Amino acid sequence: MGAAQIVARPRTLTGAEVEQLDPYAFFAVLGKRVIHPGGRAATDELIRRADFRADQRVLDVGCGVGTTAIRIARGFGASVTAVDIAPLMLERAATNVDRAGLRERIAVEDGDICALRFADGTFDRVVAEAVTMFVDRPRAAGELVRVCKPGGRVLATEFYWRKPPTPEARQLFLGEVCPGLQFDSLEDWVQLYTAAGLTDVRVETGPFHMMTPAGFLHDEGLMNSMAVMGRAIFGPAYARKKMAWLMPRVARAVPYLGFILVSGTRPVTVAEA
Ligand SMILES: C[S@@+](CC[C@H](N)C(=O)[O-])C[C@H]1O[C@@H](n2cnc3c(N)ncnc32)[C@H](O)[C@@H]1O
């Protein structure tokens, strides 16, 4: 059974709703477009590794506001299915896809990375930027590999600790800023995706670009950086309060955090060859 295409328009949230948002949803509400640790630089590398083409079916799981799905559909002509679990993200992704004039090429729909509705081997490329770490990781990685065609590629970006964090940095980030997030070392991610069935696993790492001033500017461009910061600083008092709580905590953890891009191939079995 197919899923309904999301067409809703974003509504304005109340102060109490904004208070409850996780940091990523909060940045989406402020208008930020790139919402994963490695920022645009990590997506650039993902795109290089993916070798997207016009005849491919691509799945972007945890698509956020649709930025990467739009890059893939616009840049390569591929057919993209963009899935997220959060209505807030789906509404913004659908709006952005509409504005980009790409409704014919990108389907935006509700879905859970731990229980994807697609049959085994549906997609040529499966992308998940900063999603697996929020959920049951082996199950999510297993789903990403299951829906990928034999011979297709799975590409995921995640957080990892670039150097051992101080107890304070660990507690601030995992205990307060992003409770429930699960990640550890580079080896840990390689093992997870290898156990899920990928071969030829490769990794690329880099700093937590998204939250450095240079990275923010690179990801959003001058105009959108100013618009996002303007909303955070001159917007409603509840948004200012949330930003004032968030930024010092994130800043304490930034030196220890990095992004990892994991990519690999779903092997072709003898029966499939
Ligand atoms: C850090 S944001 C990344 C968004 C987007 N991939 C990007 O890079 O801009 C994590 C995204 O994963 C989504 N998400 C969290 N749990 C999910 C799940 N179980 N299934 C699908 N998406 C999920 C969130 O709603 C959010 O949009």
Written as six digits, the tokens of 48 are: 């290089």
Sheet bearing 79-84, strands edge to edge: 106-110, 79-84, 57-61, 123-129, 148-161, 257-265, 199-207
Instruction: Give the residue, out of 40, 131, 139, 250, with the most ligand 1 atoms within 8 A of its beta carbon, to mutate for a pocket test.
Output: 131
Q: For residue 113, which atom of ligand 1 is closest to its CA?
A: 20
Ligand 1 center–CA 102 separation, angstroms: 21
Question: Which residue ranges have their beta carbon within 6 Å of ligand 1?
Answer: 24, 34-36, 61-64, 67, 84-86, 89, 112-114, 129-131, 134-135
Q: For residue 157, which atom of ligand 1 is closest to its CA?
A: 8
Instruction: Give the residue, out of 20, 24, 45, with the most ligand 1 atoms within 8 A of its beta carbon, to mutate for a pocket test.
Output: 24
Ligand 1 center–CA 84 separation, angstroms: 6
Q: Closest residue (by CA) to atom 27 of ligand 1?
A: 64
Provide CB contacts within 8 A for 43, sequence distance 6+: 34, 36, 67, 68, 71, 129, 157
Residue pLDDT tens, the chain, 273 long: 456 555 556 666 666 666 678 889 999 989 999 999 999 999 999 999 999 999 999 999 999 999 999 999 999 999 999 999 999 999 999 999 999 999 999 999 999 999 999 999 999 999 999 999 999 999 999 999 999 999 999 999 999 999 999 999 999 999 999 988 988 889 999 999 999 999 999 999 999 988 888 999 999 999 999 999 998 888 888 888 888 899 899 999 999 999 999 999 999 987 777
Provide CB contacts within 8 A for 153, sequence distance 6+: 49, 50, 51, 124, 125, 126, 263, 264, 265, 266
pLDDT tens digits, one per residue of 78-117: 999 999 999 999 999 999 999 999 999 999 999 999 999 9
In the beta sheet, which residues pair with residue 109?
83
pTM of the model: 0.92
Ligand 1 center–CA 24 separation, angstroms: 8
Q: Closest residue (by CA) to atom 13 of ligand 1?
A: 62
